[in-house]
Amino acid sequence: MVNDTVIRNFFYTSTPEHEGVLFHIPSGRFFRVFDEKCKSDFRQIFEIGSLSEDVLEMLHKIDSGKGVCSGSCENCDNQIKSANEFTVRKLALVLTSSCNMRCRYCYANYGMYDYEKAADMNAEKLESVLSYFTKNFKGIGAIQFFGGEPTLKEDLIYQTVDYFERMVQSGEIKTMPVFGIVTNGVYMPDKLVLHPVSF
């Protein structure tokens, strides 16, 4: 029997409107669960703590890198698929924990949330994140720039848009994502407003 250590290596979520999504924490791999019985068994383990030997064995095989099939299903492809089979609906990029305002009602603690120290994304990290998601998922529907105040890192906003333009031009992805931004609107440079890609 697979022990609790393996279960702690996963995060699972499912809603009535969406398919179940399984995340393997050590490898950073996502899986989508399609089969209704399989989704129900996952919920039993992750939400209620009840045991399902088939699902526990499946988790063990994923965790050990041996695949996703427990050997007990007739058609594993209909039960669980790797993340490159589905589209990320929205990818939120937290560009900075800094903000150019100090609103007393700010729920985000001026962009710091519960962070111990301020942090900014840099160009290399951003490129790595974008590369990971474009290579490991079927597509990305929308990009949301977030912070802190994301316009303080406008160079990273341009870098993101340029990245996807290159990916489309090279044929590595089919369509551009939709771009959105959560901003206080205090700093809005002309280049950002007039960029050829609509935000």
Q: How many CB atoms lie within 10 A of CB 164?
A: 20
- The pair phi, psi for residue 195, each rounded to 5°, is -60, 140
Residue 195 pLDDT: 61
Residues 126-177: pLDDT tens digits?
999 999 889 888 889 999 999 899 999 999 999 999 999 999 999 999 999 9
Q: How many CB atoms lie within 10 A of CB 6?
A: 16
Q: Give the span between the Cα atoms of 158 and 38, in whole angstroms.
A: 42
Residue 70 pLDDT: 41
74 pLDDT more than 50: no
Burial 118-129 (b: 16+ CB within 10 A, else e): eeebeeeebeee
79 pLDDT more than 60: no
Residues 1-18: pLDDT tens digits?
445 678 888 878 776 655
pTM, to two decimals: 0.61
